[in-house]
Every structure is written in C-alpha cells, then in structure tokens.
Amino acid sequence: MSLPIRNLAIIAHVDHGKTTLVDALLKQSGIFREGEEVPDCVMDSNDLERERGITILSKNTAVRFKETLINIVDTPGHADFGGEVERVLGMVDGCLLIVDANEGPMPQTRFVLKKALEKGLRPIVVINKIDRPRADPHAAVDKVLDLFIELGADDDQCEFPYLFASGLSGYAKTTMEEEGVDMQPLFDLILDRVPPPVGDPTKPLQLQVTTLDYSEYVGRIVIGRIHNGVIKAGQQAALVKEGGEIVKSKITKLMGFEGLNRVDMPEASAGYIVAVAGFADANIGETITCPNDPQALPLIKVDEPTLQMTFWVNDSPFAGQEGTFVTSRQLRDRLLRELETNVALRVEETDSPDKFLVSGRGELHLGILIETMRREGYEFQVSQPQVIYREINGQPCEPFECLVLDVPEEGVGGCMQRLGERRGEMQDMHVNATGRTQLEFAIPARGLIGFRGEFMRLTRGAGIMNHSFLDYRPLAGDIEARRNGVIIAFEEGTATFYSLKNAEDRGVFFITPGTKVYKGMIVGEHNRPQDLDLNVAKTKQLSNVRSSTGDELVQLQAPVEMSLERALEYIGPEELLEVTPVSIRLRKMSIKKLAKR
C-alpha cells in the first residue's frame, strides 16, 4: 500500500535561508535518530557549496509527516544554474517560495518564480529571517504580491498563503503576534495547499528523466517522477530518446528517498520520485516507458548557454609541475564526464587536440567547474569568456541580462556612469528606507564581463549585485575593454623585493617577493594603456660601501590578490589563465612573440 505523497520544490534567491529552512524541516520530521550528530546545511553536501554559502546542485530528500511522504527538492537560487531549476520543477506539484524579510524578492527570486508560475504551480510564501534586525515581514509580503502581478500570475496564484518563519531558530507561524514554537504550521500548510500528484498507476509506465547522477558501481543513475504506471526493480523497460529512437534495457536498481539517503525499493507507482539505474544513454527530458506500448512525455527545454571559453592543455614553462592530471586525454575525459550530470554545459572539440570549447550559463557556472577541476588535481589553461551570439530573423543578436544593483548613496553616480559605458540601459531606480538605492539595468552579457571587481571598488565593497538572463536582442555596439595595460615578466626567475619596490610607481602587482615567474607571465597592472615588460627577478648589486638608508624599514605596497573569479573577469582577448591545484597565474597567450619585442 503506497503512502499519500506531496512533491514540492523550495525556490529562493541566493542566501535567503532556503537550505537552512530544509535543515529545520529535516530535524523536526524525526528522520535523524536520537543522539545522531546533524550537520548544518545538510543539503549542501558539496565543499564549494559550503564555502560559498550557495546551492549549486539540486538535491532530493524526503520526510514523513502524519503518514504522508513529502518529497522536497532543494534548487539553486543563482541564475547560472538555471539548468538545474527548470528540470526539477517538472517533478513537483507545488513549491515553497522563501523570501528574506529584510531584502524582499530579489532578481533570482524573479528568475525561479517565473519558471514556477509558467508551470502553473501555486506557491506557498515563507517570509524567512523575521528575527533579524531591520526585518519588515509585512512589507516583504506586499513586494511578493507586486512581483506575482508583474510576472503575470493568475488570480489563484496571487491569492498565495504565507507564513512567517526563522529557519535558523526552527519555527514558523501564521501571524507575527504568535509565539513561534516549531515547523508544524508549515508542515500543515504543505499538506493542505500542495495538491497530491496526478497520475494513474493502471496506465503504461511513464517516467521522465529530470536529473542525472553517476555511480562507479551501477553507472548512470537517472532521477525523475513517475507520471503514470508502476515501475519494478528488474523489469524490462524502454527509453524514448530525444529523436524518437527507442532503446530497451532492464531496470537494474530502483531507489527512493528517505531523509538524506537513497533506499532500495521493490516497486514504486505514479507520483513517486525515484532514482533508476540501467539506462547508460539516458538524457534529461527523455522518457522511460513500457516496452510494449512506448509513450513519450513532452521534452524539457533548458536555457541555452550564453558564455563560452576555451580550455587548453597547460603549455607554460611551469607546465606539469603542480598538477596530477595534465594531458589532453585526461582533460577531455573529465570535461565529457561533467556532461553526464551538468546539462546546462556544452563541450565541443576543436581543430587542435589540446583545446576544447566549453559553453555555460555564466561566469559563475564556468568558474565553479574550473574550481572543482583544480581541486581534483587537474592542471590546464582557460581563455577569456566570450558571449555566444545568435542569428534571429536574419539579424545578429546577443544575450542581455537583467542587472539589479543595491548600492550606497555615494556609489550611485559611478555605477551609472560605468554601466552606461558598458551599454547598460536603466529600467528602474528607487531609494529605500535605509537610504540605499536600487538600480535596475538591461545590459549585454559581455558588458558584465569584468564588471564585478570594478563594482566592488566603486561601492567600497558595500554593494550587492545580481543578474539573470533576460533575452536575446540585436547587437548593442562596441564596449570599451580594460583601460590599462599589464606588467609582463620578461625573464624567468624568482621575484625580488628590490625589483618590485623600484617598479612600484609603474602600477600595481599581483605577486609578492619570492613568487616564481616566467617570460610572458602577467605580474601586475600597468598604470598606462600600454603593456610593460619588466624584469621582476632583478637583484640588487652588492658592494662594500654601506648605504646611508640601509637600516631604514622599507615596506612594499600590498599586492592585488587574484581570486579565480577576479582573474576570469580580468584577462583580455590575448591572455590566458593558468589553473593548477596550487596556483592561479595570468599569462600572455603567445610567449614566443614576447621574445621578439
């Protein structure tokens, strides 16, 4: 006998407390045994997710409340991982929209909510973090309603139920005047407002693939919801491919979700979300169905990539010194393996066996892949990110982003000026009660490349920047590239304090004394538009004459620290970023040309 089921997704903007709220639901559902150590952010199992405090991969969990199985899907809040969001919304019948009581709806709230409303879902709104200073829960509810109307929600969707909650403290309540005790009001609202899944167990099997996983033991694992029929472990089934081809195979393993674990199941019926092994060639959107009567469900459409970069085998003078996986075969295999689970990614081979064209949804999407690979021991190089152009109705078009900035008063003028130079068009501007200004722009995606670091300088680190894909529009015209040239090492060696100190007036450095450099390596930014070749390994000539200033303490100005994201934004068209498990180095693309200068 199958349990009553509720399938829901949790959607929200980055850092609005989505994962913390899931933690509270898991802990209060009784899935952890007494005395068991429960980690925070249990759904963020990836090291990068914990470090950055964001959800990158959608994950499934399930809890039981009043004999009802509640399947919960935690989705990413960042638009760069929109490929994850769209698929999982096809598995659920309702969603929780988490909104920060202080910030209200933000750009990624808009992005994910729009997808949910298009699928006809009826969101339950949770105003989270109500116990924080400056929280204004009722104003947040009004802003959510404005957003629903703006996104074209129907009358039923606009009559959304809402609760006030604190995921960190573990309580939810229907009014602000009540005393918050636990999460039961939220559990009750889920049972009441999220409809049970629609599906007929007597019809032929239909299971749509919405998420991919991989196991070394059973191979590719597909996760999806059973729309109709019953699936059994060991049975014969058919996979209807995107082009209509039918591939028959056996269900080697069938698993359901219980808490954070996958548990083996003998069978599951319509409405269940399950993980299935046995189809090595299954892809997102395809249908596992009955071999005698194969019936495919409509394919899932995922947003196309908007940004691409070239991954190269490392060919710098320091190649192979710090990485474990350095060959073109290893790099190719790793990129193709990423395609097994990362559906918003595209990998194309080029004329050269050492270069691969990789396309993704944005700088963060590609940056996460690069950071993951370097942590795994890979050593390689990447080129400057480039936008992907399309021809629409015979006219060349480029991707535009909706950019929302939250800036202090003193940073408004500088941001508006720089975005104007980057072809940004202001759509909206308003000043909130705290004196901060919210600016909304439509801007070409290429205009955002390299802007984040500049934005942090303009706002002295106090600004908040978010963006999401808008649409493709006709080309916006030329955008001015980086203004200053770079300082290039023209001799291999070790950087010295003496040479860096003597060149301080030429610009700012990215390295410190003791850093090993090679010819063609970018070591700093020149304070003029031209590039500058400099010997940063030059040592002071010693003599037996004592210097009158020899006992003075001489200090070097602090170098600019190049993180991976900052370096990706910084490199120009003729430059590369060398990535190893130990180092991140910037370099000129052609070192041979430098020797002739």
List, in order of start, the domains of the chain with CATH numbers.
5-193 (3.40.50.300), 206-289 (2.40.30.10), 390-474 (3.30.70.240), 486-544+552-595 (2.40.50.250)
Which structure tokens are listed for 283? 């892809």
> From the annotation, which residues make up the binding site for GTP?
15-20, 128-131
The whole-number pLDDT of residue 49 equals 40
> From the annotation, which residues make up the binding site?
15-20, 128-131
The whole-number pLDDT of residue 57 equals 41
- pTM of the predicted structure, to 2 decimals: 0.69
The whole-number pLDDT of residue 549 equals 52
The whole-number pLDDT of residue 577 equals 93
The whole-number pLDDT of residue 51 equals 46
369: which DSSP letter? H
The whole-number pLDDT of residue 37 equals 47
Distance CA 343, CA 304 (A): 10
Rg (CA), the chain: 27
Query: What's the per-residue H, E or C state across 517-560?
Result: ECCCEEEEEECCCCCEEECCCCCCCCCCCCCCCCCCCCCCCCCC
* Strand boundaries in 251-316, DSSP class E: 253-258, 261-264, 267-269, 273-277, 287-289, 307-313
If phi > 0 it is left, if psi is from -120 to 50 it is alpha, else beta; for residue 375 that is: alpha
Distance CA 519, CA 521 (A): 6
Query: What's the per-residue H, E or C state across 166-229?
Result: ECCCCEEECCCCCCCCCCHHHHHHHHHHCCCCCCCCCCCCEEEEEEEEEECCCEEEEEEEEEEC
The whole-number pLDDT of residue 86 equals 63
The helix/strand/coil state of 165 is strand
Which structure tokens are listed for 293? 């009567």
The whole-number pLDDT of residue 451 equals 81
Using one digit for the tens of pLDDT, what is the confidence trace for 424-452? 999 888 887 667 888 889 999 888 877 87
Going by their DSSP bridges, the two strands 380-383 and 346-349 should be labelled as unpaired
The whole-number pLDDT of residue 554 equals 66
Instruction: Report whether 577 contacts 568 (CB < 8 A).
Output: yes
Which structure tokens are listed for 401? 């982003």
The whole-number pLDDT of residue 596 equals 43
The whole-number pLDDT of residue 292 equals 85
The whole-number pLDDT of residue 461 equals 76
Distance CA 38, CA 43 (A): 11
The whole-number pLDDT of residue 33 equals 44
The whole-number pLDDT of residue 53 equals 41
CB-neighbour burial class of residue 573 (10 A; exposed 0-12, middle 13-18, buried 19+): exposed
Distance CA 90, CA 72 (A): 13
The whole-number pLDDT of residue 36 equals 46
The whole-number pLDDT of residue 59 equals 60
369 alpha carbon, distance to own chain's centre: 10
Over the chain (597 residues), what is each successive 10-residue block's mean pLDDT?
Answer: 78 72 77 47 44 48 83 64 62 87 74 79 89 84 87 85 87 86 88 87 87 77 88 89 85 84 86 87 84 82 79 91 92 88 83 91 81 92 89 89 85 90 88 79 85 80 76 84 81 89 88 91 90 87 60 70 83 90 90 48
Distance CA 132, CA 168 (A): 10
Using one digit for the tens of pLDDT, what is the confidence trace for 104-126? 887 667 667 877 888 888 899 99
